[in-house]
Structure 1
């Protein structure tokens, strides 16, 4: 094969590969895990957890909420910062409306005082399941 033919084939494959990545990027979703499987190896990764919101506390100094989430394998805290609260309020919801509901939470895994927790990215990261 001539160099020009090899270059043409490589260029076509590169364009097809990039196009495929762009088209499939919407299909990539965070891994759904059980609470017991949260560990330090997942720090800063986005994951999804399904569970029941047992209790919600509000920070006395800010508009931050702490959701206590249980899924049968354990419990953890999901932190909803002010920007995510504002997103929820745009949809006529508040963090308090999720108490005693089964939800799917997508967030970034963080460690706080030795405990693993989820930090919600935005208001779309918290959904009530039927």
Structure 2
């Protein structure tokens, strides 16, 4: 695990990094009860806000009849806001400046500066915000 900035972890955060996993955190915060399971690679950029009870996984995390779980990297860009209770699955890239609405399930890439919502998450509109 590598932390390159000031990253605040709140109560109940669980970071699980497997033997070959690479978890890289920039700057931002993980709110209460966020769970990150990293067996491949998860990269979280700078100024990222991840709300409570969000789950981020880069693997299927289960084995069927002895088969190896499938893994794919997850990338979260800079200046991203992720709402409460979001699920982000393997192989997803969330572009810089994106916003993921509460309760969304992200199963495909999110373009930069886009608000997504729903299960599965779909683009709602472009967003512009400055820090």
TM-score bin (small chain)? under 0.3
TM-score in terms of structure 1 length: 0.24
Larger Rg: 1
Identify which of structures 1 and 2 has the higher relative contact order when contacts are C-alpha pairs closer than 8 Å and 6+ apart.
Answer: 1
Higher helix proportion (structure 1 or 2)? 1
With normalisation by structure 2, the TM-score equals 0.24
